[in-house]
Amino acid sequence: MGYGDPLNSTNDLKDRSQTDLIARMLYSEARGESDQGRRGCGYVVRNRMAKNSSEFGGNSYSGVILKKYSFEGMTTESALKPDINSTAWQECLDLAQKFFLNPNSVVNPIGTCLWFVTNSLYKNKIKKSGSTESYTFNGRDYVKVTEKKVIGGHTFFKVQGY
């Protein structure tokens, strides 16, 4: 099977190589973003791997990327059937290969951030108190944001306790 081959269901993702999974995640989540924005999305995966926690799917690309509810884009047609003839796919695949084969060649633009969402979703899920922002995950208690970086259409962040 080649990178980006069409798949019928998310169950088929389990059999894909880690490079293919990284490329599909980047494509489904950030194909319209700049290289820096795509690197940020990739580094969320790397940062979660570094935590080596079952909460994030362990310490492998496949474990983290396929962790249920972690990357919404992985449940879409964009992940299952990427346009492999597009420039965006080729850029995502090139970056995925760098992440997997030569990770030290990829500059981290987001520090230790562990999540990203669209800027509009972030704004809808925070409350501010002075210069402090707190984020709510699915309507649960608000948690203080300790690190934040906005790149293109995404807000990358980390919350207290992580």
**pLDDT tens-digit readout, 38-61:** 999 999 999 999 999 999 999 999
Average pLDDT over residues 68-74: 96
- pTM recorded for the entire structure: 0.95
Average pLDDT over residues 16-21: 96
At residue 138, the pLDDT reads 86
Which residues does residue 58 pair with via DSSP β-bridges, in sequence order? 53
Asked whether the beta carbons of 27 and 88 are under 8 A apart, the reply is: yes
At residue 103, the pLDDT reads 87
- Cα separation, 45 vs 52, whole angstroms: 11
- Cα separation, 86 vs 64, whole angstroms: 26
